[in-house]
Chain A
């Protein structure tokens, strides 16, 4: 089925360990995003990639890095995990319109999430 695939689904890390969350989409979308979801705080944008070859910081980028490997794949790396990074992480993609066109139905397609615990 077409969509956004995230791996792993669950992960437990010790403080200071590193890991990479993988995300791939097969919808030929140009834009990809990483969000974290914490109880009572909704979804907060970590990093995004408007198009292949570009990445930009979102609202809460500290402690993370990203790589837009190609049009399909957008990975999120924690270099030195901290307990404050315990969260559920969602990758999303969308076909972001360009050129001032007025369009509908280009909301995000989300992956199923990665539940990360840092102890």
Chain B
């Protein structure tokens, strides 16, 4: 399953499928990007990050892709599990000029169907 566009707030996928969550960022000067996962009733949790001098970074079951040309970021989750159900936020920041402040997107709610 895949979310598209700036404001598609929900994505529903079948357990075991791959998920793609998309994010369009706003500031061409941003040089650091982070994906967070927020489960119900909890604070956001860091998943993976990427710098602007990279176009891909892989973690455990997750991959982040960065396309600076179109200011687009995506999070790919392989073999999605019920425990992946959460709200996912992308964040951008300019760490050396803005004290590491992050600007967050509105989030995409991922629901995994068993």
Among A14-22, A69-77, A95-103, the one that faces the other chain is A95-103
Tell me the bound Cα distance from A108 to B90 in angstroms.
12
Number of A-B contacts (CB under 8 A): 71
Please report the total number of A residues contacting B with Cβ < 8 Å: 33
Q: Is A41 engaged at the interface, CB distance under 8 Å to the other chain?
A: yes
Cα A110 to Cα B43 with chains together (Å) = 6
Chain A residue contacts of B95, Cβ below 8 A: 96-97, 106
B45: CB under 8 A from chain A?
A: yes
Interface size class of B (residues with CB under 8 A): 20 to 34
Other-chain contact of A43, B57, B89, B99, B100 (Cβ < 8 Å): B89
CA distance A104 to B29 in the complex (A): 17
Instruction: Mark interface residues in A81-113 (1 if CB within 8 Å of B CB, else 0).
Output: 000000000101010111110101111111111
A105 touches B49 (CB 8 A): yes
- Contact of A107 with B49 at beta-carbon distance under 8 Å, contacts A112-B42, A112-B43, A113-B43 already known: yes
Nearest to A58 among chain B residues (CB) is: B101
Contacts of A108 in B (CB 8 A): 34, 36, 44, 46, 102
Q: How far is the CB of B54 from chain A (nearest CB, A)?
A: 9
Q: Taking CB as reference atom, which chain B residue is nearest A94?
A: B100
Question: Across the interface, do A42 and B43 meet the contact criterion of CB distance under 8 Å?
Answer: no
Residues of B within 8 A of A (CB): 34, 36, 41-46, 49-51, 53, 57, 89, 91, 95-96, 99-107
